[in-house]
Chain A
């Protein structure tokens, strides 16, 4: 394999035979501060075959592997003649593949071809009402955070294509997230993706849905029609790929209008499993400051909780942005649970344990529920129509709540 640089003395113009036919495409990042990413530059040529120049901090260990993989990906993309410069900072194979594909597409190559890494076995499909106490946001353009994201014990991982990804990086992040869904083991975490606001989000769905994420978050929803549009697109792609497992939806309400339409949105599609709220955008929409106490969003949060419960879907709270202040997070999360939320978002793994603790039923609640459930079983055994605890009669909804609390406590490992 030739190691000639793509801008050495005998380059395109003078050699004459390798005249670039299209502008070069680049993707990814490199530099001393970059970890687990790779920068790829592909310069299409008319002839001369594939010429790869490789620099890598892991070259002595994986240089041959990177070169082999690059050739395979380029071949699959149908790239026959190009000069390719790769600056690798220890990227894993699924990242390398995504970056090469992104660079090729940006160079106008490989149209309509998707080069997919080996698929890690898909986890069991997730249930509509599964526990969603914590969801950890992972920026979709930062591959270094992908591989260990599942280790921290969050109920869900959100691979984010929206706010954490720069507008110029949307196309590349989409491929990274797609490959991560295939190649990364997220362990017991529900695999969520936050797509972009429609219509850009529809392009995200084209890449993401074939890899069977468990749930898709739709940002900045203000009407039922937006949810329906996404839902129809997902159904269409699922049909094309023969996917039958569920892909749940979680619309994010981030504006005054979205909050006003909460119930309409929550009931817009059968796949909706939860509603959530984005407080940064919501407070911006109102033109007020977001405070630690959250008084400015109290109505919005209550309204959303009510709409979600009315629609029979989960109510999930926003993220808590101050990673350093664990105590304030604890207070917020306890308050969230008291308001009727079932979980919230995390921007750093240190928040997960605090949130799980806050959303866990207390010992007193568990004991009370245990008594009610026992009385309920007792009444059932005796064939009584009325459940009573001591001299008190217990209403059916109270029994239902106790059963639900016990199921949650069991899922959290608090009771056996």
Chain B
């Protein structure tokens, strides 16, 4: 088992110590942005014949257990699932528990992200059904991993990195289990309709194309054809119907409310002012912001500024929320290119408005493609747990080393024309601007601006942005100055934490190389 694996550590191009092996597979240490050149061909699933599938098109089987057996589930296989239903998802655990009943061991669970409601996976790891998880882990699962209890090594990838890993053959999915809010008996799937509607099914697209076997699980079976078919039934082996694929209350987040915190509102307003004053907010521009409190407030400030200036965007990139939908409906953007849908307005808009397009990590994020449109976005607003004086940032661990968030699309978004981290300068007395980030997730050369409530720091590599805001009233300050001020407020630098010397997870860069290690918490 991997836990016994003696792995050599090497120093990568970012100066971080990373293992040469992870889960029995040799790793390439991070070489620098754009340095690693892949070779060879993409992975491919086996060739199938229509002769082996029902001519009627009806691929339904009795239940998930039957489907898994028919897919030939056995020890050590890789089962994938997706987080379209977020904390409301019931399908991933349903599949893993069915695997437990079948009696298999040592599975690798390969979710596009895991959520706190899936903490049941801990028992399945303890009982040996799951050997390890490759995918974001937080809450109880994150603790389990960072305490060193997981047998294999965690592998954290961005959304684009997950597509890249599947496509490049780094991860071979034996069985993909896709939760489908609407499907037909042939396996065509749609996420934007049905009682469990969640919007896009983009995260499952790679799995449907590259996995050996694909199972669609739905609670809303419609007669063929299921339109739109975000997932094509031609890639699907079996269809299972269940009473409920998820808890609707937790599928669309209830937290997509604009913050009322004065400090966070100030950060959001400063971000919007920066885009305006730097001239990034101009006719035909594009931006991306997530669904956090700061991001939503940012959108509402920017909206007012766009209206005042008579400026219209060509596209905005979701995670969509009602705030982005309002931009679309009020003609302030031509399109929403949506990666995932955070609230009901977003789900309805995607279902009804042809200018609200579902996208996948292939179009938006995959680094091993012929470009991707993350680099076409003019500005992106992201969060972070820590950032250092050289603008290197952490998004996965808390400064105590515990896993806190997944990478999501965060790394992929760093390719935008202007990458902005919108962060408070300290949280609960703990400074966010640190000497060295606990875990490196984003190289500082790709992070252009850090906006805190105490001022805006521009990466010295972006002299063009410095020049663009010269003469504005923005509180532009060196990052070091904000850092020192916060250290004074907090009563000095925090104590240095002791960390374990065993890596329990690796953080992949968008090209599949290893950017950093997550260490066991002692």
- Name A's B-contacting residues (CB within 8 A): 35-36, 57-58, 60-65, 69, 89-93, 145, 147-148, 151-152, 348-350
Contact of B429 among A90, A145, A152 (CB under 8 A): A90
Cα–Cα, bound, A148→B453 (Å): 8
Verify B266–A64 contact, CB threshold 8 A. Answer: no
Q: Is B399 on the interface with A (CB-CB < 8 A)?
A: yes
Leading 9 A-B pairs by shortest Cβ distance: A90-B428, A61-B494, A93-B491, A349-B262, A90-B429, A58-B429, A148-B263, A60-B400, A60-B497
Note all chain A residues with C-beta closer than 8 A to B428: 35-36, 57-58, 89-90
Given contacts A90-B427, A151-B266, 6 further A-B contacts (CB under 8 A): A36-B429, A58-B430, A60-B494, A63-B495, A151-B263, A349-B262
Verify A152–B262 contact, CB threshold 8 A. Answer: yes
Note all chain A residues with C-beta closer than 8 A to B489: 92, 147
A36-B428, A90-B429, A90-B430 known; A62+B490 contact, CB < 8 A: yes
Q: List 8 A-B contacts (CB under 8 A).
A: A61-B495, A62-B490, A62-B494, A90-B429, A145-B262, A148-B263, A148-B454, A151-B454
Q: Is B265 on the interface with A (CB-CB < 8 A)?
A: yes
Verify B262–A92 contact, CB threshold 8 A. Answer: no
Q: Which of B266, B427, B429, B454 has the most CB atoms of chain A within a 10 A radius of its CB?
A: B429
Give the shortest distance, in Å, between B92 (CB) and chain A (any CB): 29
Interface string of B59-80 (1 = CB under 8 A from A): 0000000000000000000000
Verify B491–A349 contact, CB threshold 8 A. Answer: no
Q: Is B492 on the interface with A (CB-CB < 8 A)?
A: yes
Cα–Cα, bound, A65→B490 (Å): 10
Interface string of B362-378 (1 = CB under 8 A from A): 00000000000000000
Which single residue of chain A is at the shortest CB-CB distance from B398?
A60
Within 8 A of A (CB), among B248-268: 262-263, 265-266
Note all chain B residues with C-beta closer than 8 A to A64: 495
Cα–Cα, bound, A62→B491 (Å): 9
Note all chain A residues with C-beta closer than 8 A to B454: 148, 151
- Name B's A-contacting residues (CB within 8 A): 262-263, 265-266, 399-400, 427-430, 453-454, 489-492, 494-495, 497
Which single residue of chain A is at the shortest CB-CB distance from B454?
A151
Give the shortest distance, in Å, between B250 (CB) and chain A (any CB): 21
Contact of A61 among B265, B266, B399 (CB under 8 A): B399
Which single residue of chain B is at the shortest CB-CB distance from A95?
B429
Note all chain B residues with C-beta closer than 8 A to A91: 429
Which single residue of chain B is at the shortest CB-CB distance from A96?
B491
Note all chain A residues with C-beta closer than 8 A to B495: 60-65
How many residue-residue contacts, CB under 8 A, span A and B? 59
Give the shortest distance, in Å, between B94 (CB) and chain A (any CB): 32
Note all chain B residues with C-beta closer than 8 A to A93: 491
Verify B429–A61 contact, CB threshold 8 A. Answer: yes
Give the shortest distance, in Å, between A75 (CB) and chain B (any CB): 18
Which single residue of chain B is at the shortest CB-CB distance from A57?
B428
Note all chain B residues with C-beta closer than 8 A to A348: 262
Which single residue of chain B is at the shortest CB-CB distance from A349?
B262
Give the shortest distance, in Å, between A260 (CB) and chain B (any CB): 38
Which single residue of chain B is at the shortest CB-CB distance from A90?
B428
Give the shortest distance, in Å, between A405 (CB) and chain B (any CB): 22
Cα–Cα, bound, A350→B262 (Å): 7
Verify B430–A152 contact, CB threshold 8 A. Answer: no
Verify B265–A349 contact, CB threshold 8 A. Answer: yes
Cα–Cα, bound, A69→B490 (Å): 13
Note all chain A residues with C-beta closer than 8 A to B262: 145, 148, 152, 348-350
Note all chain B residues with C-beta closer than 8 A to A89: 428
Verify B491–A65 contact, CB threshold 8 A. Answer: yes
Cα–Cα, bound, A348→B399 (Å): 31
Note all chain A residues with C-beta closer than 8 A to B494: 58, 60-62
Note all chain A residues with C-beta closer than 8 A to B497: 60-61
Verify B429–A92 contact, CB threshold 8 A. Answer: yes
Note all chain B residues with C-beta closer than 8 A to A90: 427-430
Note all chain B residues with C-beta closer than 8 A to A63: 495
Note all chain A residues with C-beta closer than 8 A to B427: 90
Which single residue of chain B is at the shortest CB-CB distance from A149?
B262
Verify B490–A92 contact, CB threshold 8 A. Answer: yes
Give the shortest distance, in Å, between B296 (CB) and chain A (any CB): 15
Note all chain B residues with C-beta closer than 8 A to A350: 262, 265
Cα–Cα, bound, A193→B452 (Å): 28
Cα–Cα, bound, A58→B263 (Å): 21
Verify B430–A69 contact, CB threshold 8 A. Answer: no
Q: Which of B400, B428, B490 has the most CB atoms of chain A within a 10 A radius of its CB?
A: B428
Cα–Cα, bound, A36→B495 (Å): 18
Which single residue of chain B is at the shortest CB-CB distance from A151?
B453
Cα–Cα, bound, A91→B430 (Å): 10
Give the shortest distance, in Å, between B97 (CB) and chain A (any CB): 31
Give the shortest distance, in Å, between A360 (CB) and chain B (any CB): 15
Cα–Cα, bound, A148→B267 (Å): 12
A92-B490, A148-B453, A348-B262 known; A62+B429 contact, CB < 8 A: yes
Give the shortest distance, in Å, between B444 (CB) and chain A (any CB): 23
A58-B428, A148-B453 known; A92+B491 contact, CB < 8 A: yes
Cα–Cα, bound, A6→B263 (Å): 38
Which single residue of chain A is at the shortest CB-CB distance from B401?
A60
Cα–Cα, bound, A350→B453 (Å): 14
Note all chain A residues with C-beta closer than 8 A to B263: 148, 151
Note all chain A residues with C-beta closer than 8 A to B492: 65
Which single residue of chain B is at the shortest CB-CB distance from A120?
B488
Give the shortest distance, in Å, between B249 (CB) and chain A (any CB): 22
Which single residue of chain A is at the shortest CB-CB distance from B492?
A65
Give the shortest distance, in Å, between B1 (CB) and chain A (any CB): 30
Cα–Cα, bound, A350→B489 (Å): 24
Cα–Cα, bound, A193→B265 (Å): 25
Which single residue of chain A is at the shortest CB-CB distance from B497?
A60
Cα–Cα, bound, A62→B427 (Å): 13
Note all chain B residues with C-beta closer than 8 A to A148: 262-263, 266, 453-454
Cα–Cα, bound, A58→B427 (Å): 10
Cα–Cα, bound, A151→B456 (Å): 13
Which single residue of chain A is at the shortest CB-CB distance from B428?
A90
Note all chain B residues with C-beta closer than 8 A to A147: 489
Cα–Cα, bound, A61→B263 (Å): 23
Give the shortest distance, in Å, between A61 (CB) and chain B (any CB): 3
Give the shortest distance, in Å, between B474 (CB) and chain A (any CB): 13
Give the shortest distance, in Å, between B221 (CB) and chain A (any CB): 43
Which single residue of chain B is at the shortest CB-CB distance from A69?
B491
Verify A61–B430 contact, CB threshold 8 A. Answer: yes
Which single residue of chain A is at the shortest CB-CB distance from B429?
A90
Cα–Cα, bound, A92→B453 (Å): 17
Give the shortest distance, in Å, between B450 (CB) and chain A (any CB): 16
Note all chain A residues with C-beta closer than 8 A to B429: 36, 58, 61-62, 90-92
Q: Which of B262, B399, B427, B453 has the most CB atoms of chain A within a 10 A radius of its CB?
A: B262
Cα–Cα, bound, A148→B485 (Å): 12
Give the shortest distance, in Å, between A246 (CB) and chain B (any CB): 28
Give the shortest distance, in Å, between B391 (CB) and chain A (any CB): 22
Give the shortest distance, in Å, between A8 (CB) and chain B (any CB): 27
Cα–Cα, bound, A60→B499 (Å): 12
Cα–Cα, bound, A121→B266 (Å): 25
Which single residue of chain A is at the shortest CB-CB distance from B263?
A148
Cα–Cα, bound, A348→B453 (Å): 16
Give the shortest distance, in Å, between A149 (CB) and chain B (any CB): 8
Note all chain A residues with C-beta closer than 8 A to B399: 61
Cα–Cα, bound, A26→B492 (Å): 27
Note all chain A residues with C-beta closer than 8 A to B265: 349-350
Cα–Cα, bound, A68→B310 (Å): 57
Which single residue of chain B is at the shortest CB-CB distance from A148?
B263
Give the shortest distance, in Å, between A203 (CB) and chain B (any CB): 29
Cα–Cα, bound, A123→B176 (Å): 64
Cα–Cα, bound, A349→B297 (Å): 14
Note all chain B residues with C-beta closer than 8 A to A145: 262
Cα–Cα, bound, A93→B429 (Å): 9
Note all chain B residues with C-beta closer than 8 A to A58: 428-430, 494
Cα–Cα, bound, A58→B430 (Å): 7
Cα–Cα, bound, A57→B429 (Å): 10
Cα–Cα, bound, A349→B265 (Å): 9
Cα–Cα, bound, A145→B266 (Å): 14
